[in-house]
Amino acid sequence: MSINACRSALAGAALILSSAVAAVADVPKVAVDIAPVQSLVARVMQGLGAPEQIVRQGASPHGYALRPSEARNLTEADAVFWIGPALEPWLERSIDTLAPDAVVVRLLDVPGTTVLEFRQGAQFVAHEDEGHDDDHEGHDHSGSDPHGWLDPENGKLWLNSVADELAKLDPDNADVYAANASAGKSEIDAAAAQIRQDLAPIANLRFVVFHDAYQYFEARFDLAALGAISAGDASDPGPARIEAVRGIIRDGRVDCVFSEPEFNQSFVETVIEGTEVKAAIIDPLGSQIAPGPEFYPALLRAVSDELVGCAK
């Protein structure tokens, strides 16, 4: 191609680019906390834009330090969607100071959201056994369990909430947000139906998880973890809690113990040491799944697959 032809091709491309930019110029800039929320918001914004994620993939949101680029995402945001201080107590002040004028939505507070209380102790006891808390360490972990994204009904509800909030900021695209949310809900329903089928044969799987992050998934799909090595805030377990989990395993009542890529494996190795119990990986944040609109239903399916895989 001659230099002139090349120039005019470039000019044409620039023209197309600038008109595309004009069409999305009013689309709000959005910041989100974790990948599941990024996915839900990306689904609502599909075709118009995508939100910036603050907590990088593979890191635990329970304890985190903002990098400058992540802080900048907050500064530039017109809207911030995040789970809330129950998951990220460190993020609340950053949002207040860095994004004082942004529309801020705490998803656990969206009306209609299913919010469960933290479970107590290392061993999750059935209701009829309550009162026997002898292997409980006495720490008070009371409060809301923040892992609500693992309930697909919450995911669907939040799609609506995101679409409503973005429509207020960007009324011209309200129809797009609503249509995307509606399509996203159908995709989640399809994933949930598949999961229900896949999990039916393993309804009695006896498993222990690394941290107490799965009760929304368990409640929605009729499973029940026997216990967790670490509490729902992912704090390091004390010796009494480790011993309680080893007790569950020694009793021979456990099929698998799940570790998580976001956390140190050593606690899992400690509790299964000298036993035959199977160790596997489960990931409530889908660190191996490509981010974007399709991430959220893929995450639900991956959690289901991880449970099914361990049952084999």
- Return all residues near 39 (Cβ < 8 A) that are at least 6 apart: 291, 292, 293, 294, 295, 296, 299
Site string for Zn ion, 92-111 (x = CB under 5 A): --------------------
By C-beta, is 150 or 162 nearer to Zn ion?
Answer: 150
Q: Is 146 exposed, middle or buried (0-12, 13-18, 19+ CB in 10 A)?
A: buried
With tokens 């989990």, the residue in question is 245
- Shortest distance (Å) from residue 265 CB to Zn ion: 16
For Zn ion, which stretch binds (CB under 5 A), given 11-19, 72-80, 186-194, 232-240?
Answer: 232-240
For Zn ion, which stretch binds (CB under 5 A), given 36-44, 69-77, 228-236, 291-299?
Answer: 228-236
Q: Which two tokens stand for residue 254?
A: 């456990």
Q: Which two tokens stand for residue 277?
A: 């119990």
Site string for Zn ion, 233-272 (x = CB under 5 A): -x--------------------------------------
| Angle (nearest 5°) at CA 82 between 73 and 199 | 125
- Return all residues near 120 (Cβ < 8 A) that are at least 6 apart: 133, 136, 141, 142
| Angle (nearest 5°) at CA 109 between 290 and 167 | 70
By C-beta, is 191 or 213 nearer to Zn ion?
Answer: 213
Rule CB under 5 A: is residue 163 a binding residue for Zn ion? no
Which residues pair with residue 259 across a beta bridge?
A: 281
Size of the site for Zn ion (CB under 5 A): 2
By C-beta, is 33 or 165 nearer to Zn ion?
Answer: 33
- Shortest distance (Å) from residue 70 CB to Zn ion: 19
Rule CB under 5 A: is residue 303 a binding residue for Zn ion? no
**Total residue count of the chain as it appears in this document:** 312
- Shortest distance (Å) from residue 60 CB to Zn ion: 7
- Shortest distance (Å) from residue 188 CB to Zn ion: 21
Rule CB under 5 A: is residue 213 a binding residue for Zn ion? yes
Distance CA 254, CA 277 (A): 7
Helical residues (DSSP H) of 77-203, grouped into ranges: 91-98, 152-169, 174-199
Element (H, E) at 242: helix 239-250
Check if the beta carbon of residue 210 is closer than 8 Å to that of residue 267.
yes
- Sign of the CA dihedral 118, 160, 162, 60? positive
Rule CB under 5 A: is residue 34 a binding residue for Zn ion? no
By C-beta, is 42 or 234 nearer to Zn ion?
Answer: 234
- Shortest distance (Å) from residue 150 CB to Zn ion: 10
By C-beta, is 151 or 187 nearer to Zn ion?
Answer: 151
What's the one-letter identity of residue 36?
A: P
- Shortest distance (Å) from residue 208 CB to Zn ion: 15
By C-beta, is 275 or 287 nearer to Zn ion?
Answer: 287
Query: Which spans of this chain sit near Zn ion (rule: CB under 5 A)?
Result: 213, 234
